Amino acid sequence: MRTIPGGVAPRERPPGPTRLQEVTDFGANPGNLRMCTYVPRNPQRALVVVLHGCTQTAASYDLGAGWSTLADRYGFMLLLPEQRAENNPKTCFNWFRENDITRGQGEAASIRQMITTMAIEHDVDPRRVFITGLSAGGGMTAVMLATYPEVFAAGAIIAGLPYRSATSTRQALESMFRVRVRTPREWGDLVRAASPHAGPWPRVSVWHGGADTVVKPKNAEELLKQWTDVHGLGTQATRTETVDGYPRHVWTDASGEVVIESYIIPLMPHGTPLASGDGDESYGVPGEYLIEVGISSSYHIACFWGLTEKRPAASRPRRTAESSAATQRVVEARPAKGSEPTPAPVRAEVIEQPGPGDVPPPRAGRSEGPGESAGAGRDKARKSGVSAFVEGAIKRALEAAGMMKRR
């Protein structure tokens, strides 16, 4: 195994700093992906796999969602696979291509090999491996949970789709915008047929914006139908509670353990929910498809996985104005207004998903300013999300991108 300090290759490195290291020569790589990692001081043997969205990099999504900050605080290690433009012009993970979503093949096999490499090099506890992703990364998270369920204790799918909701570009577009509906048993059978595994199954967290026009929110319902069936549960939640002002639906097994949870954030467009700031439950920096709504999905996902139960591994560093500005530049870089879209990825912009009808990225809500209450900040974020939703719908009618295909 060979590492490159400072992260991704120079020709694809985003502007600003990165905390990641690239690992090369990690073994079989049939999906032609890049492997990036972050290992904090005194790691606690748990591993979190983080999958970025389209046109993002591993580094930009890490900074935007706050995962390496969480890793510093709680001691878990990070693996951040990164897509290459040679595989997909928008650097989306190919969650809808047969050769990439089958056990032992393509991108799924590459990610599995990266996990094996991390396990060997860093003595990862095989009972404490987790995975999460946004949009195309969320779709690939569903792929990994289905094709390698024995590897993961749990996963979290943000603005994603069920496993095998699509096996072609055309089906991907239909699933995203029109939603593919199946019975719970039909969805569950697709997971059970994806590997020889017979259980126990990974626990699953599902997050989605209620105003998402890129991946329709009903996809979250179909995801929940898939995983409740896999766990042998009904579609009706065991209970509903409120977390940071938002409803959390919970499904428990026969022993009372929470095995599935879901958050639908009303009025939030497509993206990862954030609560930015310096509080103990605030992580990430708002940017394109990294949306300030007053709840940190990264933090609450880590809680759901049990990674925050032990004493923090280190005090959380306070963000300075200089470091915040640098981070903001990484996750908010975008083309000049009025510029024409190009096939080459804008590495820190997040334009999710392939084909005609791509929605331009909504602008993130503003974080709370001095003297604003959490509720006031959240209300402003929600209003901003509505404006972005309307603007996106108009632009979507005017703009179209080319179909994705492997070169």
For the stretch 168-178, pLDDT in tens is 999 999 999 99
List of the chain residues with pLDDT < 70: 1-17, 310-407
Extract the tokens encoding 38.
Answer: 């972050």
Q: Closest by alpha carbon to 304, among 370, 268, 259? A: 259
Q: The whole model's pTM is what? A: 0.77
Residue 330 is predicted with a pLDDT of 31
Nearest-angstrom CA–CA distance, 137 and 94: 9
Q: What angle do CA 271, 275, 281 make, to 5 degrees?
A: 130
Cis peptide before 266 (omega within 30 of 0): no
CB 83 within 8 A of CB 91: yes
Backbone angles phi, psi at 205, to 5 degrees: -115, 130
Residue 86 is predicted with a pLDDT of 96
Q: Which residues of 80-92 are buried (b: 16+ CB within 10 A; e: fewer)?
A: bbbbeeebbbbbb
Q: Closest by alpha carbon to 94, among 151, 161, 184? A: 161
Pairing of strands 2-4, 47-51: unpaired
Residue 174 is predicted with a pLDDT of 97
Residue 353 is predicted with a pLDDT of 42
Nearest-angstrom CA–CA distance, 180 and 403: 20
Owner of token pair 């930015």: 276
Nearest-angstrom CA–CA distance, 349 and 339: 14
**Tens-digit pLDDT profile for residues 270-284:** 999 999 888 899 999
Extract the tokens encoding 129.
Answer: 């491996």
The residues annotated as belonging to the active site are 135
Residue 319 is predicted with a pLDDT of 40
Residue 5 is predicted with a pLDDT of 36
- For residue 350, the one-letter residue type is V
Is the alpha carbon torsion for 363, 367, 368, 374 positive or negative?
positive
Residue 17 is predicted with a pLDDT of 62
